[in-house]
Structure 1
Amino acid sequence: MLLFRQGDVMGSVAEFDKAIELDSRQKACRSLAKGLSLYYLDRFEEGAEQFRLDVAQNPNDTEESIWCFLCEAQLYGVEEARNRFLEASLLLTVGRDSRPVMRQVYSMFKDGGNPQELVDTFSSSRDGEYFYASLYAGLYHEALGEKEAAKKFIVAACQSSYGQRSDDYMASLAKVHCICRHWSLTQA
């Protein structure tokens, strides 16, 4: 996980694989983090498999379903990913996330929605909620192939005070996203 935070995505997958080789229980323990690394290496099929494993282990956290959608959108397109997303939700009974922002993010990915409205809803909320709304608005645009809109929102997430000061893994992910896409954090 430290290698990922430092931007060494390939190294992080190698270390996750070593950990799993040493102890197969690590596959379930670290599947979200490994899946995120796989996403940034464009290994979408493996990433989707990791996220599905994590949803089976942890059905009350919606992020794994969203990241599975993001991987499958790259593989099959948004509509087919949404069809698969609905199947995953029904088969794995994803629970209700305790975070209001993530409940709305989940709904946007599952049913479609307006990323700008999501960000607007949380623009005056707790800083972490604005960060997550911006990050996932950007990821939603990326799934739709709207690169400039994706960049706008993800850079905004990085520039938020939460994105700049938080030790949250997802704050690191937003920065790694920008590094992988060769986006400057000083431009909106």
Structure 2
Amino acid sequence: MALTQIVNPIIYPSRTIPRRFTAISPFQTLNPQFSRHPPHALSRRLFLPSVSSIWDAITGGGDSNPREAIAAVRRGMQLFRQGDVAGSVAEFDRAIVLDLRQKAYLWQRGLSLYYLDRFEEGAEQFRIDVAQNPNDTEESIWCFICEARLHGVDVARKQFLEVGRDSRPVMREAYNLFKNGGDPEKLVNDFLSGQASEYFYASLYAGLYYEAEGKSENAKFHITAACGSPYGQRNWSSGIV
């Protein structure tokens, strides 16, 4: 997960159909008396129950509505960008009602819950997401921030969600900062002369580190710097951040 993906919905990955389903024929589940009749001589209605049960097993249930769920996720992200955070949560929750599988990938919902001060629910959402994607540095950090606001930095660090190695140097350093403690100013200084995106993320996560510690003025300074940076301005105006 990256904050620069905020306008792109996280849609649950398409699942490969298990081999055991590819070997099932609808005819095998019907009453044996039908096996002596040519399939084309039978009404298709006779096969609907067995076909439906196979489809439900593959897709996760007959009550899911993935297209409407994805539309709800998109609406939720748009509402978040417009400042209607409560409205965004309502849409994300609606997406889950429409298709329960969405919950395992809705890191956007975790962000909204955090900004509504619903830290326990936010932490739960990020932990669910990391269980599906154990290499997501940013979700691990956001879980820490939620739990730090609930229990304090020391407790949050003891239950820190460890994830795989991030390919981005700036995020590896941010991850180590939150996991082990340290100086957020060093994080920013180390990437002052780096790529524009690196300075953005260094400033953002330095600010969020201060926020987790309850140092609001320091947090405001660095988060404002991130948003005002060339990378932040460019991507915000184009609808990416």
TM-score by length of 2: 0.66
Amino acid at match of 1:61: D
Is 1:7 matched up with 2:77? no
Cα distance in 1 between the residues matched to 2:239 and 2:191: 17
Which protein is richer in helix relative to its size?
A: 1
Amino acid at match of 1:46: E
Identical-pair percentage: 68
More displaced stretch, 36-45 vs 159-168? 159-168
Please name the residue that 1:107 is paired with: 176
Q: Deviations over 1:41-69 (max 9, x none)?
A: 00000000000011111111111110000
Please name the residue that 2:8 is paired with: none
Structure 1 moving runs of 4+ over 6 Å: 168-171
Is 1:154 matched up with 2:223? yes
Please name the residue that 2:97 is paired with: 21
Please name the residue that 1:182 is paired with: none
Distance 1:26 1:10, change over 3 A: same
Amino acid at match of 1:50: Q
Amino acid at match of 1:72: E
SS of 1:46 mapped into structure 2: helix
| Match of residue 144, structure 1, among 200, 213, 216 | 213
The root-mean-square deviation of aligned C-alpha atoms, in Å, is 1.7
CA shift, 1:2, in A, is 1.1
Please name the residue that 1:67 is paired with: 142
Counterparts of 1:19-168 in structure 2, within 5 Å, are: 19-30=95-106, 32-85=107-160, 88-89=161-162, 94-167=163-236
Amino acid at match of 1:154: I
CA contact (8 A) 1:48 1:68 kept: yes
- Greater radius of gyration (CA): 2
Cα distance in 2 between the residues matched to 1:37 and 1:156: 22
TM-score by length of 1: 0.84
Query: How many residues in Structure 1 have an aligned counterpart in Structure 2?
Result: 165
Cα distance in 2 between the residues matched to 1:168 and 1:15: 24
Amino acid at match of 1:136: Y
Amino acid at match of 1:116: E
Which sections of structure 1, spanning at least 5 residues, go unmatched?
173-188
Amino acid at match of 2:140: S
SS of 1:123 mapped into structure 2: coil
CA contact (8 A) 1:157 1:163 kept: yes
Which sections of structure 2, spanning at least 5 residues, go unmatched?
1-76
